[in-house]
Amino acid sequence: MSRKLPLAEGETSRTACARTLLRTGVDEKTGEMLSRAVLAERVGWCADLVSGMVLALMGEHWNAADVEVLASGEDTAGRTLPSNAWMALRRLGWTVAPPKDVRVNDRIVRMAQEQAGRALRSAKWRADLTAGVLSAWPVDPGKRTPDEWDAVREAVPGGQHLLAGIIKARTRQAAKFLKANGRLPADVFELEGPSRVPRMLLLAACDGQQATIERSEASPTRALLRLQLPNRPDPAGYRDWTWVACPITLPPTVPADAVLHLPTLRLADGKVRCDVAYTHAVPKTSRTGHMVALGVDWGLGTLLSAGTVRLHDDGQIIAPGHGAQFQAAGVLAKQHRLRRLSERLHAKADQYVRLIGDRDHHTLATKLDALRGEMRHVSDRRSNLNDALAWAAARWAVDQAIAAGATVIYLEDLRSVEAKGMGRTMNTRLSQQVRGQIADRMRNLAAEQDIAVVTVPARNTSKLCPHCLTPLRHRKAPDRPTVVGWKWAICPSRSCGWQGDRDMGAWRRIAARSLTHQAKTVIDRTSATMVIRSVVDKPESKAVVTATPKTRRKDRSKTGPTPHHTPRPAPRRRRAPSPAGRPCGPAASVRRDTHQRAGPGCPAQPTGTRA
């Protein structure tokens, strides 16, 4: 199976990941059908062997000197290190061996070296950040002065574009160490221990002697994964390793012509989760030259507000519609309730830990175990809810862009905005929103539709009028123009007079300003995403939405009182004659001394007789 992806002109390759489950397998040596539990057990034995070797590597090389050597990209002889982590570790001579009396092949060692090498490489960024924060330690860690902010950004590599929240979080971590030990930490390796090692198998570090994957020719949604697994927790020889064939059902999001790569196997809740990486061709997205754009603004109850604007050849920007909103108040309220429940459970668990102390056999030990199980359950519920909300919001935004024919989505960047000044509850709810997940999934879905996603700075998007750039007056509601609030915005300019929802005006400002400054779009080196880092702060006549002229209609305003019309009573009997073909007959009940008046051509009959 060829691993090279053919690309046409105007296309580029894109690597994504699809999640699925390994439900069963077949032991090729014995022909035994493995159930889900047995397959998870055998994958767990292999993952435990890999995790043990990863812990040994991390403990041996978790220091500033080794991390610096690995991150430098050169070995002791000055040669460039390979991009694969396991190959780089072998070039440096950082080896590891399985436990005594356990026999594994070289590919199992590769997976351990790859996982450890990735973790050690990622520690370099945290080490530089911590070193910069410690070198420019402020007088008051809780509040830096402008000069102290400039100093810490100069000390941190790439600190000019680093979010303030990241620097504050690292400062709080160092301040906690200072309070406990009476001194600042020397580096991040004293501040933090080695990262937690998850139970996983990085099959991408292996070759065909350990694992293979092939797509079925009969069905494009089926694939077969073959890998070697131990049949005992401590394999003593190669005979204890057998090939297991596991069928995989690919989700419909994987294109039929995509190239499959070896997946990553993870263990969770007794199940084997399989993250299948695949590469497929997508159209190239352009940074500039956009004429129709979708502006997206964030909110609290209204999670997303979005609308399209169009840039004409004469430079005018028109908003053809009123926009739309993604309402998620119910889901966000559920998230808030789960967060409060999680906080109460953690507080109760901490109290149990204080009461138990150093005693191994305590009556509260059983309750503590049950409480930790409930904490994991609540955490899983929060994660699943956040994931579902992120996919729904991203799908909604991309669908809005597709329907409007937009080629770019301008998304407001709120990562550096801190929630403060709105009360403890509101600040916490704002901080818990999954904006980062929504943005990542939005880029994932938009790439398949040739739509660029550009992050723009959040600066005065809700402060200025989208039509005339006049500072807006924010009120509580449209029918309460004198009550100060934040939801409704009114332009005080007599020549403009625009008013509307605060978020609906914000997406107009985001889209118009981004279209005007789209030539400043760059690709961030660290995240490989499109961003606009700077905009012109002073008002510009070009970065506005031209007001659509109102349609002239006949004046229907009242000029006097409404005339009074006397209601006409409804008739009690039918005034129109009955049709000629109607069957004749006596009424159900009439007076005894009269006869029923029949229709034309029907003789009258005395009361009490039946036809």
How buried is residue 499: exposed, middle or buried, by Cβ count under 10 Å (0-12/13-18/19+)?
Answer: middle
Token pair 């370099």 is found at: 124
Residues in Cβ contact with 308 at an 8 Å cutoff, skipping those fewer than 6 apart: 292, 293, 294, 295, 319, 320, 321, 323, 400, 401, 404, 406, 511
Neighbours of 26 (CB within 10 A): 18
More confident residue, 527 or 522: 522
Mean pLDDT in the chain? 84
Cα separation, 164 vs 585, whole angstroms: 93
Q: Are 262 and 255 in contact (CB under 8 A)?
A: no
Q: What are the tens digits of pLDDT across the range 315-355?
A: 889 888 888 999 888 888 888 899 889 999 999 999 999 99
Cα separation, 174 vs 138, whole angstroms: 12
Whole-model pTM over 0.85: no
Q: What is the pLDDT of residue 606?
A: 43
How buried is residue 495: exposed, middle or buried, by Cβ count under 10 Å (0-12/13-18/19+)?
Answer: exposed
**Across 26-44, average pLDDT:** 94
**Across 441-462, average pLDDT:** 88
Neighbours of 586 (CB within 10 A): 17
- With a pLDDT cut of 70, the percent of the chain lying above it is 86
Write the single-letter amino acid at 259. Answer: V
Q: Categorize the per-residue pLDDT at 591 as very low, low, confident or very high, splitting at 50, 70 and 90.
A: very low
- Going by C-alpha positions, the residue among 393, 404, 435 that lies closest to residue 290 is 404
**Across 121-143, average pLDDT:** 92
Q: What is the pLDDT of residue 269?
A: 83
Cα separation, 224 vs 214, whole angstroms: 5
Cα separation, 275 vs 289, whole angstroms: 36
Q: What is the pLDDT of residue 464?
A: 87
Q: What are the tens digits of pLDDT across the range 183-231?
A: 999 999 999 888 888 899 999 999 999 999 999 888 889 999 999 999 9
Neighbours of 332 (CB within 10 A): 21
Q: Is residue 571 over pLDDT 90?
A: no
Tell me how far apart the terminal alpha carbons of the chain are, to the nearest angstrom: 91
Cα separation, 434 vs 410, whole angstroms: 18
Q: Is residue 598 over pLDDT 60?
A: no
Query: If you ran DSSP here, which 8-state letter would residue 470 be given?
Result: P
HEC-encoded secondary structure of 540-576: CCCCCCECCCCCCCCCCCCCCCCCCCCCCCCCCCCCC
Q: What is the pLDDT of residue 600?
A: 44
Q: Is residue 277 over pLDDT 90?
A: yes
Q: Are 272 and 41 in contact (CB under 8 A)?
A: no
Token pair 């040739």 is found at: 450
HEC-encoded secondary structure of 428-465: HHHHCCCHHHHHHHHHHHHHCCCCEEEEEECCCCCCEC
Q: What is the pLDDT of residue 605?
A: 45
Q: What is the pLDDT of residue 196?
A: 84
List own/partner pairs for 601-610 with CB under 8 A and 24 or more apart: 610/586
Let me know the angle formed at the C-alpha of 136 by 134 and 139, rounded to the nearest 5 degrees.
Answer: 100
More confident residue, 521 or 461: 521
Token pair 């039929």 is found at: 256
Please list the residue range(s) of the chain that carry CATH number 3.30.420.10: 292-328+391-531
Q: Is residue 144 over pLDDT 60?
A: yes
Cα separation, 196 vs 266, whole angstroms: 14
Token pair 């292996």 is found at: 206
Q: What are the tens digits of pLDDT across the range 92-115?
A: 999 999 988 899 999 999 999 999
Q: Are 345 and 375 in contact (CB under 8 A)?
A: yes
Please state which of the ranges 184-193, 430-439, 488-497 shows the lowest mean pLDDT.
Answer: 430-439
- Which run of H or E residues covers position 41? helix 36-61
- Going by C-alpha positions, the residue among 143, 130, 125, 139 that lies closest to residue 177 is 130
CATH architecture of 292-328+391-531: 2-Layer Sandwich (3.30)
